[in-house]
Amino acid sequence: MPEPKWQRVLLKLSGESFAGEQGFGIDGDIVGRLARQIVDVRRDLEVDIAVVVGGGNIWRGMTGEGAGMDRAQADYMGMLATVINALALQDLLERLDQPTRVQSAIAMSQVAEPYIRRRALRHLEKGRVVICAGGSGNPYFTTDTTAALRAVEMDADVLLKGSHSGVDGVYTDDPRTNPDAEKLDRITYLDVLNRGLKVMDATSITMCMDNQVPIVVFDLMTDGNVRSILEGRPLGTLVS
């Protein structure tokens, strides 16, 4: 088997990717496809994989704030939604005989371990997939920011940011509405910030830039893309 381009990976999965075409809830077939991609690269390429999951398929804090709810309260509800998604992913991974651990930034001892960096690193060393839930444990921060934070904490070589909307990278504009939008194969962190490109929020980009963690934005919903990226094929957009 080819040597992987990166040995330790942080994979960011949006909550919306769990919903599939229905747009809400959890589509078991879709999550199963995501799980198979993870198991494929974990077993064949023997990379360490940590996953940060979002919760937008169940609840988004910004939605609650827009309806007049207290923003902190709405964000905590969103963190609980990420735990539901993490447990669904864990179940499907373990059906494929892949050992996993769910670690939550919010104490929830009956269903998840607390997030402890050293324990997470030990799980990775033992070949387990670590699924990080509960966001960062703090309101006002997105799960993209959590992904950047966990990537830095776990010494990840790359942050893989999967897109669920059929967009296969970073474009100069939204390719779904602007046919003249151009795909960018490679771009710097500063260009993302200065041009206001919709990659991840500014806090996430800045954290990755300060700690030199490259980001690959790619189409998550095409089977085999995670493996292709780790095998070094030019895919998606590299932010570095």
pLDDT digits (tens, 9 = 90+) for 197-232: 888 999 999 999 999 999 999 999 899 999 999 999
Give a yes or no: residue 206 inside a domain: yes
Strands (E), 15-136: 48-53, 100-104, 113-114, 129-133
- For 156-177, how does the pLDDT look when each residue is reduced to its tens digit (9 = 90+)? 999 999 987 777 888 888 887 8
Amino acid at 105: A
pTM: 0.94
* Helix or strand holding residue 239 (H, E): strand 237-239
225: exposed, middle or buried (C-beta count within 10 Å: 0-12, 13-18, 19+)?
buried
The distance in angstroms from the start CA to the end CA of the chain is 27
Give a yes or no: residue 3 inside a domain: no
Q: What is the CATH number for 112?
A: 3.40.1160.10
User: Distance between CA atoms of 52 and 142, rounded to whole angstroms?
Assistant: 11
Provide the domain limits for residue 15. 8-239
Give a yes or no: residue 78 inside a domain: yes
Give a yes or no: residue 2 inside a domain: no
- For 91-134, how does the pLDDT look when each residue is reduced to its tens digit (9 = 90+)? 999 999 999 999 999 999 999 999 999 999 999 999 999 999 99
Per-residue pLDDT for 186 more than 70? yes
* Cα 44 versus chain centre, distance: 21
The whole-number pLDDT of residue 65 equals 64
The whole-number pLDDT of residue 62 equals 67
User: Distance between CA atoms of 77 and 65, rounded to whole angstroms?
Assistant: 11
How many distinct structural domains can be found in the chain?
1
